[in-house]
Chain A
Amino acid sequence: MGAEDQPWSSRFRPKRTAEVAGNREAIQELRRWLQSWEKGVPKERAAFIYGPPGVGKTASVQALAADMGFDLLEVNASDYRTRTRLEELVGRAATQSVTVFGRRRLILFDEMEGISGREDLGGIAAIADIIKNTRSPIVLIATSVGEENEEKFRPLRDRSLIIEYKPIPTLEVYGRLASIAKEMRIDASEEALEALAVRSEGDVRSAINDLESLARGKGKVTVGDVESLGRRDRQEYTPDVIRAIFSSRNLREARRAVSQSYVGHEGLFDWIYENLPLILDDPGDLHDGLEALARADVYDRRARSSNYRLQKYMFNMMSGGVSFSRRRSEGLGLRRQILATTARLGFPQSAFTLHEAAEGLLVKPVRYLGDDWGRVNGAMRGLGASWVRGGNAWSIPYLRPPQLRWRYIRTYQSRLRLRSVSEKVATRCLVSRKEAVSEVIPLMRVMFKGSREMGDGIAGWLDLDEDEAAWLRG
């Protein structure tokens, strides 16, 4: 099978660890553990990797083996049936630390979650025995598993270095999709790739599969295509949740609104934060509401780092704490923001009328805007508006989806440059990367914008590439 015929998720499978997206620290830990074998057999003879699907668990082990010159012996679910089969496969390999060609060996037990039912338990005991005596490093991989599996894997986990892999940040998924789209010469809009990345929830493989299924044969992907992939976006339910939180009369109701939410509480934080200043237009209320949300955030961290029973306080603060901060607010935040926006564009208050409709506020220009339409439209879109053609008005939803994540995605390239430039500045100017970002680069941008000659000089001195220099010029 030629490269063109392979599914993209295999074709673009990382070959080296540098190409693996995300989970850098986990991979680093694994690398250190493998390195420790050079000095003899370490205390933990196996590493147990677990994490959600499509985050590069197997790929990173294969890439590490290639980087570090290991001979990789892979064992899969179908091999786990019997002790005899396992011993046949890996028994010898495990007790000899090098192959006949003198290469070091790495044994990988993949798809461990495939061990199921009573009859396979013998397989686990056999693997445990192999680990006890192995002279080659063994890596075990399982997709995140429920409590029942937790118990089942205990004999293995107790002897292993445990490493957790996390979902890949949306940004990195986006970056991966963008580079594949470029290489395959696919005409895909940024928004479409963003939508695919967000949709994947950190599963790179599924994102690449989606991209392939949309692009194969026509070489073009639009936002509409991504929407056609089905599975309703769970965020649609969220405005209802926010409304329920703010209209609740007691803590029980408020909490019920939060607990019935379809988005995880991670997403709810963003939704509440985005809309709080629109709903709580009184400064005192806003202050109390934000503080309640910030306290909820603190409990969230505490729950993660010490004990999940602390989560109930988080739920109380982000539901009741936020909702009961509404005392004097009139809910005019959105109106005020619209008026402030049009005033900034130089229009008197009388130039637009505002109507309440079910889906949002309708902003109607009193007279024909002519050439000004584009300018106003841009500003209105910034507030989440869409132009209703027949109604000759903008419709602005009362509640706005969180802007944060999109903004992060949109500025992805720029932050990539910031990172690479700050590393070069840190090395050359003997400052930390943080100082480079906060102290040196802002002034450097002024230099690049002010004088082409000086900018070129600095670019040469710092060994910047053309993209980086262009970024500094702005």
Chain B
Amino acid sequence: MSGGMWAEKYRPRTLDEIADQAEIVSRMKNFVKDRNLPHLLLVGPAGVGKTTSILCLAHDLYGPGYQNFILELNASDERGIDVIREKVKNFARTAAMASEVPFKILILDEADSLTSAAQHALRRTMEIYTRTCRFCLIGNYSESIIDPIQSRCSVFRFSPLPEQETKDWLRNMAEREGVKLLPEGLDAVYEASQGDLRKATNLLQAAAATKGGEVDDVVIYSVLGKVSPERVREMIKLSLRGDFLEAREILRGLLIDEGLAAEDILRMLYSELMRMDMPEEWKVRLSDSVGEVDFRLTQGSRPEIQLSTLLAKLAMAGRENVGR
């Protein structure tokens, strides 16, 4: 078992190695054959191969030294559009030397996290450097990308990996890593990851570490119990029971000790609530409250105070026997 994260170790390197998304892969292969490509917009859920496929495309286009011709940025990590533009400018200013391909590729991950004003600025940048640089924007939803950018890009829609493919992939990996993956363990991994291959792979690797050799559903659930969504579930349960102080303790642990962003906690809280068994009317009410908090966070409000209002709301819901 060699070191590193399996999710990287088994990440496909060339378009040929990508087992699924057949239609997307074949369109990309045509770009390679042409030695040319338009600006790209890759959209779809997490862990379905958006970043992987553009890296494979770059590999096939430029050869093994492809890293010299691409620049990867993550919009959510950069400090504002000006910083991004500055980096793009430096990268795109020069043509791709020592390659038969006359342009470089700029990959901007989480482009949908940019405000629309920032996207308009980006559009301008795209136009200026079109001659020497192609842009590949990546995001979860195409709706959050402004129309002028969408119309300049060739759009690729990725769908979640089908169950069979995901399971084949995991089984294959387990075999090569010498891990005995039992069918009920495999089901549990798929259930928890829902076609997100990165999450599935990390989960499997974590399970293999806890119980070298054999992975069943019990191990998978115990691993899941140690990561954040499970703590969020516990926080909801305590709130519903009216135990606000205990619930707030968990919230603090997530925010401070684990360093999670308030937005991430909110996202997990929301998806847990929507999955819970409760009257539809309460779902709408709680969704409205979560939405209000989400909005206030974008305005720079104090995260813990805002999030804890939701814990108090849940305590009210609990009093009416909701969600028990």
Chain B residue at minimal CB-CB distance from A408: B256
* A residues less than 8 Å from B243 (CB atoms): 340
Across the interface, B299 reaches (CB within 8 A) one of A298, A408, A448, namely: A298
Q: A294-B301, A298-B296 are in contact. Are A411 and B256 (CB under 8 A)?
A: yes
| B227 on the A face (CB < 8 A) | yes
B interface footprint on A401-440 (CB within 8 Å = 1, 0 otherwise): 0011001100100110011001000101111111101111
Across the interface, B305 reaches (CB within 8 A) one of A277, A290, A337, A437, namely: A290
* B residues less than 8 Å from A61 (CB atoms): none
* A residues less than 8 Å from B257 (CB atoms): 411, 414
Q: How many Å from the CB of B66 to the closest CB on chain A?
A: 14
Chain B residue at minimal CB-CB distance from A423: B77
Q: A287-B313, A301-B301 are in contact. Are A450 and B206 (CB under 8 A)?
A: yes
Across the interface, B3 reaches (CB within 8 A) one of A293, A448, A456, namely: A456
In chain B between 236 and 267, which residues have their CB closer than 8 angstroms to a CB of chain A? 242-246, 248, 252, 256-261, 264
In chain A between 455 and 469, which residues have their CB closer than 8 angstroms to a CB of chain B? 455-458, 460-462
Q: How many Å from the CB of B291 to the closest CB on chain A?
A: 14
Contact across chains for A457 and B2 when beta carbons are under 8 A apart: yes
Across the interface, A454 reaches (CB within 8 A) one of B209, B223, B301, namely: B209
Chain B residue at minimal CB-CB distance from A437: B259
* A residues less than 8 Å from B33 (CB atoms): none
| B199 on the A face (CB < 8 A) | yes
Contact across chains for A437 and B258 when beta carbons are under 8 A apart: yes
| A283 on the B face (CB < 8 A) | yes
Across the interface, A450 reaches (CB within 8 A) one of B199, B209, B256, namely: B209
| A442 on the B face (CB < 8 A) | yes
Contact across chains for A437 and B261 when beta carbons are under 8 A apart: yes
Of B51, B198, B309, most buried by chain A (CB within 10 Å of CB) is B309
Chain A residue at minimal CB-CB distance from B222: A446
| A69 on the B face (CB < 8 A) | no
Main secondary structure of the interface of B (DSSP, over half): helix
Contact across chains for B199 and A439 when beta carbons are under 8 A apart: yes
Contact across chains for A447 and B312 when beta carbons are under 8 A apart: no
Chain A residue at minimal CB-CB distance from B11: A430
Contact across chains for B110 and A458 when beta carbons are under 8 A apart: no
Other A-B pairs, 6, CB within 8 Å; known A454-B1, A462-B4: A411-B257, A418-B259, A429-B8, A433-B74, A440-B5, A460-B3
Give 7 A-B contacts (CB < 8 Å), ordered by A residue: A273-B305, A297-B302, A430-B51, A434-B261, A440-B202, A450-B211, A451-B212
Contact across chains for A283 and B242 when beta carbons are under 8 A apart: yes
| A330 on the B face (CB < 8 A) | no
| A284 on the B face (CB < 8 A) | yes
Of A294, A404, A408, most buried by chain B (CB within 10 Å of CB) is A294
Contact across chains for A415 and B296 when beta carbons are under 8 A apart: no
Contact across chains for A458 and B202 when beta carbons are under 8 A apart: no
Main secondary structure of the interface of A (DSSP, over half): helix
Q: A287-B315, A446-B210 are in contact. Are A294 and B305 (CB under 8 A)?
A: yes
Contact across chains for A287 and B312 when beta carbons are under 8 A apart: yes
Chain A residue at minimal CB-CB distance from B210: A450
* B residues less than 8 Å from A435 (CB atoms): 46
Q: How many Å from the CB of A264 to the closest CB on chain B?
A: 14
Contact across chains for A283 and B202 when beta carbons are under 8 A apart: no
Say which size band chain B's interface belongs to.
Answer: 35 or more
Contact across chains for B202 and A443 when beta carbons are under 8 A apart: yes
Q: How far is the CA of A386 from the CA of B277 in the complex (A)?
A: 44
Q: How many Å from the CB of B193 to the closest CB on chain A?
A: 11
* B residues less than 8 Å from A148 (CB atoms): none
Q: A407-B252, A411-B257 are in contact. Are A443 and B227 (CB under 8 A)?
A: yes
Q: How many Å from the CB of A340 to the closest CB on chain B?
A: 8
| B67 on the A face (CB < 8 A) | no
Contact across chains for B305 and A293 when beta carbons are under 8 A apart: yes
Chain B residue at minimal CB-CB distance from A337: B245
Q: How many Å from the CB of A55 to the closest CB on chain B?
A: 20
Q: How far is the CA of A419 from the CA of B260 in the complex (A)?
A: 11
| B176 on the A face (CB < 8 A) | no
* B residues less than 8 Å from A448 (CB atoms): 209
Across the interface, A434 reaches (CB within 8 A) one of B2, B76, B252, namely: B76
Across the interface, A443 reaches (CB within 8 A) one of B205, B244, B252, B316, namely: B205
* B residues less than 8 Å from A298 (CB atoms): 296, 299, 301
In chain A between 297 and 331, which residues have their CB closer than 8 angstroms to a CB of chain B? 297-298, 300-302, 305
| B304 on the A face (CB < 8 A) | yes
* B residues less than 8 Å from A432 (CB atoms): 74, 76-77, 109-110
* A residues less than 8 Å from B79 (CB atoms): 25
Chain A residue at minimal CB-CB distance from B260: A438
| B194 on the A face (CB < 8 A) | no
Q: How far is the CA of A462 from the CA of B260 in the complex (A)?
A: 21
| A253 on the B face (CB < 8 A) | no
Q: How many Å from the CB of A203 to the closest CB on chain B?
A: 23
| A37 on the B face (CB < 8 A) | no
In chain B between 258 and 300, which residues have their CB closer than 8 angstroms to a CB of chain A? 258-261, 264, 296, 299-300
| B228 on the A face (CB < 8 A) | yes
| A291 on the B face (CB < 8 A) | yes
* A residues less than 8 Å from B259 (CB atoms): 415, 418-419, 422, 437
* A residues less than 8 Å from B304 (CB atoms): 273, 404
Q: A301-B300, A451-B209, A456-B3 are in contact. Are A277 and B309 (CB under 8 A)?
A: no
In chain A between 216 and 275, which residues have their CB closer than 8 angstroms to a CB of chain B? 269, 273
* B residues less than 8 Å from A273 (CB atoms): 304-305, 308
Q: A287-B316, A457-B4 are in contact. Are A446 and B209 (CB under 8 A)?
A: yes
Contact across chains for A426 and B74 when beta carbons are under 8 A apart: yes
Contact across chains for A446 and B260 when beta carbons are under 8 A apart: no
Contact across chains for B1 and A291 when beta carbons are under 8 A apart: no
Contact across chains for B227 and A442 when beta carbons are under 8 A apart: yes
Across the interface, B316 reaches (CB within 8 A) one of A269, A283, A403, namely: A283
| B27 on the A face (CB < 8 A) | no
In chain B between 30 and 61, which residues have their CB closer than 8 angstroms to a CB of chain A? 46, 51, 55
Across the interface, B206 reaches (CB within 8 A) one of A283, A300, A428, A446, namely: A446
| B186 on the A face (CB < 8 A) | no
Q: A283-B312, A451-B212 are in contact. Are A442 and B228 (CB under 8 A)?
A: yes
Contact across chains for A284 and B245 when beta carbons are under 8 A apart: no
Chain B residue at minimal CB-CB distance from A281: B244
A interface footprint on B191-203 (CB within 8 Å = 1, 0 otherwise): 0000000110011
| A453 on the B face (CB < 8 A) | yes
Q: How far is the CA of A430 from the CA of B76 in the complex (A)?
A: 13
| B7 on the A face (CB < 8 A) | yes
Contact across chains for A442 and B226 when beta carbons are under 8 A apart: yes
| A286 on the B face (CB < 8 A) | yes
* B residues less than 8 Å from A291 (CB atoms): 309, 312
Q: A277-B244, A294-B301, A443-B203 are in contact. Are A457 and B223 (CB under 8 A)?
A: no
Q: How far is the CA of A287 from the CA of B316 in the complex (A)?
A: 8
Q: How far is the CA of A461 from the CA of B242 in the complex (A)?
A: 46
Contact across chains for A438 and B316 when beta carbons are under 8 A apart: no
Q: A294-B296, A414-B257 are in contact. Are A284 and B264 (CB under 8 A)?
A: no
Q: How far is the CA of A461 from the CA of B318 in the complex (A)?
A: 47
